[in-house]
Chain A
Amino acid sequence: MSMNKEIMATTIEHPAENKVEPELLGLLAEFNDPESLMEASRKVRDAGYNRWDTHTPFPVHGIDEAMGIKYTILPWIVAACGLTGGTIAISMQYWMNAVDYPFLISGKPLFSIPACIPIMFELSVLLAAFGAFFGMLGLNQLPKLYNPIFKSDAFRRATNDRFFLSMDASDPKFSEIDTGEFVKSLNPNHVEEFWSDVESPKLPRNLKLGLSLFGVLMLMPIALVAYKRSTVTDNPRIHIIPDMDFQPYLKAQNTTTIFGDGREMRPHIPGTIPRGQYKDDNIPFYYGLKVLPEDQDVITIAAQDDAKADEEKPAEAKPAEGANADAQAAAEDKLANLPWVTEFPMPVTDKMMARGKERYRIYCSVCHGLGGEGDGLVTLRAMDLQQGTWVRPASYHTDNVRKQPVGRLFHTITNGVRKMPAYGPQIPPEDRWAIVLYLKALQKSHQVDADTLTNDEKRKLRDTK
Chain B
Amino acid sequence: MASVASEPIDTTTEVPGKRTPLVTGAHDYGTITDAVCRLAECKAPLSWYVALAASAALMGMLFGLVGYLIITGVGVWGNRSPVFWGWPIVNFVFWVGIGHAGTLISAILFLFRQDWRTGINRAAEAMTIFAVVCAGLFPGIHIGRVWLAYWLFPIPNQMSMWPNFRSPLLWDVFAVSTYATVSLLFWYMGMIPDLATLRDRAKNKIAQFGYGLFSLGWNGSSRHWHRYERAYLLLAALATPLVLSVHTIVSFDFAVSQLPGWHTTIFPPYFVAGAVFSGFAMVLTLMIPVRSICGIKDLLTDRHLENMTKVIIATGTMVGYAYAMEFFIAWYGGNRYETFAFINRAFGPYAWAYWIMVSCNVISPQLFWIKKIRTTPWMIFVVCIFVNIGMWFERFVITVTSLSRDFLPSSWGYFKPTIVDVLMLIGSFGLFMTLFLLFCKFLPMVAMAEVKSVYHEPHGHGDYQPEIKD
Q: Footprint of B on A, CB under 8 Å? A: 32-34, 41, 53-61, 63-64, 67, 69, 72, 74-75, 78, 82, 92-93, 96-97, 100-101, 103, 105, 108, 115-116, 118-119, 121-123, 125-126, 128-130, 132-133, 135-137, 139-140, 142-147, 149-150, 155-161, 164, 240-241, 243
A123 vs B238: C-alpha distance when bound (angstroms):
11
Q: A-B pairs with the 3 shortest C-beta distances?
A: A161-B29, A136-B231, A143-B216
A100 vs B164: C-alpha distance when bound (angstroms):
12
A32 contacts B227, C-beta separation under 8 Å: no
B162 contacts A97, C-beta separation under 8 Å: yes
A158 vs B196: C-alpha distance when bound (angstroms):
10
A57 contacts B29, C-beta separation under 8 Å: yes
B326 proximity list for chain A (CB < 8 A): none
B164 contacts A132, C-beta separation under 8 Å: no
Residue of A101, A118, A146 contacting most chain B CB atoms (<10 Å): A118
Question: Which residue of chain A is the closest to B159 with respect to CB atoms?
Answer: A101
B212 at the interface (CB under 8 A from A): yes
- Chain A nearest CB: distance from B141 CB in Å? 14
B166 proximity list for chain A (CB < 8 A): 97, 103, 105, 108, 115
Question: Which residue of chain A is the closest to B216 with respect to CB atoms?
Answer: A143
The A-contacting residues of B in range 220-237, CB under 8 angstroms, are 220-231, 234-235
Of B58-66, B279-287, B295-303, B448-456, the one touching chain A: B448-456
- Chain B nearest CB: distance from A189 CB in Å? 12
Q: Which residue of A58, A75, A103, A108 contacts B449 across the interface (Cβ within 8 Å)?
A: A58
**26 A-B residue contacts at CB 8 Å?**
A56-B222, A57-B448, A58-B448, A58-B452, A72-B227, A74-B234, A100-B162, A103-B164, A118-B171, A119-B171, A119-B174, A125-B242, A128-B234, A129-B186, A130-B185, A132-B235, A133-B235, A142-B217, A142-B218, A143-B216, A145-B212, A155-B219, A159-B200, A160-B200, A161-B28, A241-B147
A108 vs B223: C-alpha distance when bound (angstroms):
53
The A-contacting residues of B in range 397-456, CB under 8 angstroms, are 448-450, 452-453, 456
Residue of A41, A54, A121 contacting most chain B CB atoms (<10 Å): A121
A123 contacts B174, C-beta separation under 8 Å: yes
B29 proximity list for chain A (CB < 8 A): 57, 160-161
**With contact pairs A58-B452, A97-B166 given, residues A125 and B226 touching in the complex (Cβ less than 8 Å):** no
- Chain B nearest CB: distance from A124 CB in Å? 9
B452 contacts A123, C-beta separation under 8 Å: no
A55 contacts B220, C-beta separation under 8 Å: yes
A54 proximity list for chain B (CB < 8 A): 221-222
B252 at the interface (CB under 8 A from A): yes
- Chain A nearest CB: distance from B56 CB in Å? 28
A125 contacts B178, C-beta separation under 8 Å: yes
A108 vs B224: C-alpha distance when bound (angstroms):
51
A92 vs B165: C-alpha distance when bound (angstroms):
10
B453 contacts A69, C-beta separation under 8 Å: no
B213 at the interface (CB under 8 A from A): yes
A157 contacts B174, C-beta separation under 8 Å: no
The A-contacting residues of B in range 232-289, CB under 8 angstroms, are 234-235, 238-239, 241-242, 245, 249, 252
A74 contacts B227, C-beta separation under 8 Å: yes
A74 contacts B222, C-beta separation under 8 Å: no
A145 proximity list for chain B (CB < 8 A): 212-213, 216-217
Question: Which residue of chain B is the closest to A38 with respect to CB atoms?
Answer: B222
A69 vs B453: C-alpha distance when bound (angstroms):
19
B165 contacts A97, C-beta separation under 8 Å: yes
Question: Which residue of chain B is the closest to A137 with respect to CB atoms?
Answer: B216
A126 proximity list for chain B (CB < 8 A): 178, 181-182
A78 contacts B234, C-beta separation under 8 Å: yes
**With contact pairs A33-B1, A126-B178, A136-B189 given, residues A63 and B227 touching in the complex (Cβ less than 8 Å):** no
A72 proximity list for chain B (CB < 8 A): 226-227, 230
A144 contacts B217, C-beta separation under 8 Å: yes
B217 contacts A146, C-beta separation under 8 Å: yes
A164 vs B224: C-alpha distance when bound (angstroms):
14
B204 at the interface (CB under 8 A from A): no
Q: Which residue of A69, A75, A118, A149 contacts B249 across the interface (Cβ within 8 Å)?
A: A118
A135 contacts B33, C-beta separation under 8 Å: no
A98 vs B63: C-alpha distance when bound (angstroms):
40
B175 proximity list for chain A (CB < 8 A): 118, 122
B227 proximity list for chain A (CB < 8 A): 72, 74, 136, 139-140
B182 contacts A125, C-beta separation under 8 Å: yes
A119 contacts B453, C-beta separation under 8 Å: no
A119 vs B177: C-alpha distance when bound (angstroms):
11
B45 at the interface (CB under 8 A from A): no
The A-contacting residues of B in range 94-142, CB under 8 angstroms, are none
A96 vs B212: C-alpha distance when bound (angstroms):
44
B228 contacts A59, C-beta separation under 8 Å: yes
The interface bits of chain B over 184-205 (1 if a CB of A lies within 8 angstroms of the residue's CB, else 0) are: 0110010001001101110000
B453 contacts A58, C-beta separation under 8 Å: yes
B230 contacts A136, C-beta separation under 8 Å: yes
B228 contacts A122, C-beta separation under 8 Å: no
B226 contacts A69, C-beta separation under 8 Å: yes
A115 contacts B165, C-beta separation under 8 Å: yes
B178 proximity list for chain A (CB < 8 A): 122-123, 125-126
